[in-house]
Amino acid sequence: MWVHYALFGILALVGGLLGGRREDGSRKSTAPLLVAWLLFVAMAGLRARTVGNDTSRYYDVFEKITDTDGLSEAFAVSRFERGYVVVNYLISRITDDFNVLLLVVSVFSFWSVVLFIHRYARSNPLALLLAFGMSVFYDIMLATRQGIAAAIFLFAVPALMERRPVRYLILILLAAQFHASAILLLAAYFIPMLRLNSFLDWVKWGAVIGACTGCLSLVLTKASVFSAYYGHYLSSQYAEGGVRMATVMGVGVRLLMIGLVAMCGWNSAVAADKTGVTRILVTFAVADAAIMIVSLGFNLLDRLEMYLTLPMVVGLGNVVAREPGLRNWYVSVLLVLVAFVSMTIMLLYRPGWYTLFPYHTVFEEGAW
């Protein structure tokens, strides 16, 4: 676990020392982002097969694809989406080293994360620490296929902001070639059309999104019976209908964070941003919380929440970082601590959900 604490300490130290502040009060230094990118690319790309619940499965698929003589044969040896199979096949034509695949995927996925933060965050260090605390980096590293899909979605967000439907559609369809759940992100294109003039409007639309997601959970439960791809989830912990500590804590953390940010001038921050970016990002925060609440009844839905976590933390961070002052500074510190402590509790008391620590590299047998 010391690696986990060291990562947080390095990100906090680099953010504090090299964060930089512009005349308009924003903190847009690229140094913390580059440090984070290098750290997590190395951590994800050089991990052993024992790190992560699914890494060994990805290794087995890569080995099978390496032994194939053509792309059609590669499609036949795996149930994974075709985009992911194609990436495996292309890399296997160059090398049979599984960690090369992990490095290539990590370079792409984490670059998307840091680019998104730099593009939309008012404070890069704050957004980075919140993203770390909310497990954005760990999730993208361990959920490899969905991590690629999430990265492509982050590249699609500018098309959503700029109202470019064709480009958004193409990118989401591409993301679905790596994780089928990404197809549901087509609905996110309509988020900027919501009329949100007060905090009560945010609560109202959050309830609507939650109701729609609840209906979706029922549809997924019924449809999964007929799906060879998702059918296996019905006999797993995701569909047991029980309440997992991770989901309960996820709901509590998100509601607490939204409540804290609401004290920092939520409406004024949205109104002050004439580009509409803040409004869209904090709408993602409400949608993220709604999905987590509904996933109390169907745990597979918390997979959808992974796509929205980074837009959520960037949006909430932007509201807090809009104006200097002790209140906003205290809230930003509280947000970081709440996120980090909740993540750490999960890693300590439910290590089997991640199988991330003790961490092993591909070069050694011992634990870090």
Cα–Cα distances in angstroms (integers) from residue 254 to residues 236, 251, 268, 291, 349, in the given order: 25, 5, 21, 11, 20
Q: Give, in degrees to the nearest 5, the angle at Cα 151 between 102 and 219.
A: 110
Give me 224's structure tokens.
């999964």
Look-up of token digits 């096949």: 89
Specify the 3-state DSSP secondary structure of 359. Answer: coil
Distances (CA, A) of 320 to 103, 124, 264, 282, 317: 34, 12, 6, 12, 5
| Phi-psi category of residue 47: left, alpha or beta, with phi > 0 → left and psi -120 to 50 → alpha | beta
What letter represents residue 328's amino acid?
N
Written as six digits, the tokens of 278 are 């803040």
In tens digits, the chain (368 residues) has pLDDT values of: 788 899 999 898 888 776 656 555 567 788 889 999 999 999 999 998 888 888 888 999 999 999 888 888 889 888 888 999 999 999 999 998 999 999 999 999 999 999 999 999 988 999 999 999 998 999 999 888 999 999 999 999 999 988 899 999 999 999 999 998 888 888 888 877 766 666 566 666 666 666 665 565 556 555 554 454 555 555 554 444 444 666 777 788 888 888 888 888 777 777 777 777 888 888 888 778 777 776 665 555 556 778 989 998 998 888 888 877 788 888 889 999 999 998 898 888 777 777 888 888 888 744 44
pLDDT of residue 368: 42
Rg (CA), the chain: 20
Check residue 358 and give left, alpha or beta (phi > 0: left; psi -120 to 50: alpha). beta
Q: Which residue has the tokens 């939650």?
A: 210
Give the separation between CA 364 and CA 347, rounded to whole angstroms: 22
Domain ranges of the chain: 1-142, 194-352
Q: Which pLDDT value is given to residue 358?
A: 84
**What's the rounded Cα separation, in Å, for the pair 45 and 107?**
8
Give the pLDDT score at 90. Answer: 93
Phi and psi at residue 361, in whole multiples of 5°?
-95, 165
What integer pLDDT is reported at residue 242 of this predicted model? 46
Contact 306/150 with Cβ under 8 angstroms?
yes
Other Cβ atoms within 10 Å of 193 Cβ, number: 7
State the Cα–Cα distance between residues 36 and 272, nearest whole angstrom. 30
Cβ neighbors of 159 (< 8 A, separation 6 or more) are: 165, 167, 168, 171
